[in-house]
Amino acid sequence: MTGTAAVLGALSVLALAAGPGLAGLVQTAKARLQGRRGADPLQPYRDLRRLWRRSVVDPEGTGAAYRTAPAVIAAVTAAAVLMVPLGADAPRWPFLGADALLVVGLLATARMAGAVSAWDTSAAFGMMGAARDLAYAVSGEALLLGTLLVAALPAGTTDLRGLWAAAAQAETWRTPAHWAGLLAVALVVLVETGRQPIDNPDTHLELTMIHEGPLLEYAGRDLAMLTWVAGARHWIVMGLAAGVFLPHPSGAAAGAVVTVAWLPVLAAATALAESSQAKMRLGRAPRLLASGAVLTLLGAVAWAFGAGL
């Protein structure tokens, strides 16, 4: 492992701790935009500390699916955080690699573990959230893979480091495919972080909640792990958006700095998007995601007209 790879790898490990801060940043920016003072961005860490001290519950009639779900979700999410590209020389992790499709698979595994745990308690609110989560994921996965497709076409690989390097090239920015992907990835950020107009992390109203639903039956360290996961997902999708789609220099040091610097900007943009629109009706949100997927298809077609094998 070269020195650059070691530094970037260490940065990825640090990122494991940074996710909740990013989510806190969104909350602070949102509060300010709505005229409230709000908590400071470190509030999620205080929440985690408070939850960590409390005991977990084992609801009657639940089994291994409920008990292992937070650990499984946290493990796969941590793996996905490590894979977010911060540079072309980032390490190819042993056992994990650096493949973009594996990140999609890891996020899907977390979703499945959450749904299985909801079935294990069979609590109606958790089921409601899990069912909506999986239903949105149908068009959400198409959107995510379509986005990766338009990124992979110019790069010629699904290796995240290759995708990062391609976004640093000026030629990539001349293809309409990349611009289509840029628009689509904005939707990806909203859906995967569970933000308006798709989902709303600030409410536990059964008419609206999605990601919060399965969390209702958890307490203590279980809940702490799941809360950390919600923050880590901000790092994963915003990191993917910044590393694969937003402009950054191709040099190792400058590239990594710019990629990380994009994250607060994305957090602020997310807060702006959340504050400026109402939540979408349940039946309509999948159609919004599907139209994003169709946009990436247009990008792929435009690429096929423009450049070759």
Partner 1 sequence: MAELVLAGVALIVIGALLPLRRPLLAAGLVVQATGIAAVGVGGAGIAIGGETAGAAFSPAISPAFGADRLTGTMLALIAGVALPAALACIAYLRHVARPGAVASLFGCFVLALAGVVTARDASALLACWELMTLLPAVASLVADASPPVRRAMFEYLAITHIGGAGVWAAILVLAERGAIGGPPLGPGGATAGFAAAAAIVGFGTKAGLGPLHAWLPRAHPVAPGPLSAVMSGAMVAVALYGLVRVLFQWMLAPAWAGPALMTVGAVTAVTGIVYAAMQPELKLLLAHSTIENMGVAAAALGASLWLHGEGAGSPAALAFGAAMLHLLTHAAAKGGLFIAAGAVQGAAGTLDLGRLGGLSGRMPLTAGVVGVAGVSLAALPPTAGFVSEWAVLQGAFGAARIDDPVAGVVAGGTVLLLAVAAGLAALTVAKMLGLVLLGPPRTAAAAAAVEAPGPMRAAGALALAALAGLVLAAGWILPGLASMVPGGIGDDGPDLLDVPATGGLAPAWTLAVLAAAAFLLTRVRGRSAARAPIWLCGQPELARAPYTGAGFTKSFRIAVDGLLRSERDVEVERRGGLVHRVTSTGRVPDLVDRFMYDPARRLALAAAAHARRLQSGSLRAYIAWLGAMVVVCLALLRAGWLS
Q: Within positions 182 to 241, which residues make up the interface with partner 1, using CB under 8 A?
A: 204, 206, 216-217, 219-222, 225
| Residue 96 in tokens | 């994990």
Site string (50-79) toward partner 1, x via CB under 8 A: -----xxxxxxxxxxx-xx-xxx-xxx-xx
189 C-beta neighbours (distance < 10 Å), count: 21
Q: How far is CA 195 from CA 56, 82, 172, in A?
A: 27, 23, 29
Name the one range near partner 1 by CB under 8 A: 7-15, 89-97, 164-172, 238-246.
Answer: 89-97
SS3 at position 207: coil
User: Can residue 264 be called a binding residue for partner 1 (CB under 8 A)?
Assistant: no
How many Cβ atoms sit within 10 Å of the Cβ of residue 136? 23
Looking at beta carbons only, is 143 or 263 nearer to partner 1?
143
Residue 303 is a binding residue for partner 1 (CB under 8 A): yes
Q: Site residues for partner 1, window 121-160 (CB under 8 A)?
A: 121-125, 127, 130-132, 134-142, 144-146, 149, 152-153, 156-159
Tell me the window of 14-22, 27-35, 115-123, 168-176 that interacts with partner 1 (CB under 8 A). Answer: 115-123
User: CB of residue 297 vs partner 1: minimum separation in angstroms?
Assistant: 5
Q: Using an 8 Å Cβ cutoff, are 66 and 121 in contact? A: yes
220 CB-near residues (< 8 Å, 6+ apart)? 51, 52, 54, 55, 56, 57
Q: Residue 225 and residue 211: Cα distance in Å, rounded? A: 14
Residue in 38, 45, 99, 272 binding partner 1, rule: CB under 8 A: 99
Nearer to partner 1 by C-beta: 159 or 274? 159
Residue 49 as a binder of partner 1 (CB under 8 A): the answer is: no
Count interface residues toward partner 1 (CB under 8 A): 97
CB of 198 to partner 1, least distance (A): 13
Q: Whole-number minimum distance, CB 261 to partner 1, in Å?
A: 27
Which sign does the torsion angle of CA 9, 147, 96, 130 carry?
A: positive
Query: Residue 120 belongs to what H/E stretch?
Result: helix 100-121
Closest CA to 67 of 220, 264, 200: 220
Nearer to partner 1, 25 or 184 (CB): 184
- Nearer CB in complex with partner 1: 11/79: 79
